[in-house]
Homo-oligomer: A and B are copies of this chain.
Amino acid sequence: MFLGKVVGTLVATRKEASLDGLKFLVVRRLTVENEEESGYVVAADAVGAGIGEVVMVATGSSARQTRLTDKRPCDAVIMAIVDTWEVNGEEKYRKSESS
């Protein structure tokens, strides 16, 4: 999985019928130091993530292992909202209480 920040939303009305009801979010990749990268992915949201939240994204066939994405043409899913992570004993991110 990689770490990303939800930065945007996307609307697509004409799509594979099986995708109806899925919410797609634009997720920018984060370095392990919590810096935004230029890379991004559009991911289905399986956990009710919101703009600005830091999330974990699973890709490939693993992205279909949720009730919402099962058997759908979806190759990236937000499967967790991150509370905190640390590297070498140093906290790199902590979800604010208000978010």
Instruction: Give the interface size bracket for A toward B.
Output: 35 or more
Given A41-B2, A42-B56, A63-B73: A87 and B26 interface contact (C-beta under 8 Å):
yes
**Contact across chains for B46 and A16 when beta carbons are under 8 A apart:** yes
Tell me whether A16 and B62 are in contact (CB under 8 A). no
How many copies make up the complex? 5
Judge if A88 is at the interface, Cβ distance under 8 Å: yes
Check B75–A1 contact: CB distance below 8 A.
yes
What residue of chain B has the Cβ atom nearest to residue A43's Cβ? B1
Taking a contact as CB atoms under 8 Å apart, the answer to whether A80 and B8 are in contact is no
Q: Are A73 and B81 in contact (CB under 8 A)?
A: no
Q: Which of B1, B16, B74, B92 lies in contact with A76, CB distance below 8 A?
A: B1
Closest 8 CB pairs of A and B: A15-B80, A8-B87, A62-B75, A12-B80, A10-B85, A65-B73, A73-B79, A14-B81
Q: A11-B85, A64-B65, A65-B73 are in contact. List 7 more A-B contacts (CB 8 A).
A: A1-B24, A10-B56, A10-B85, A11-B83, A15-B56, A62-B75, A64-B73
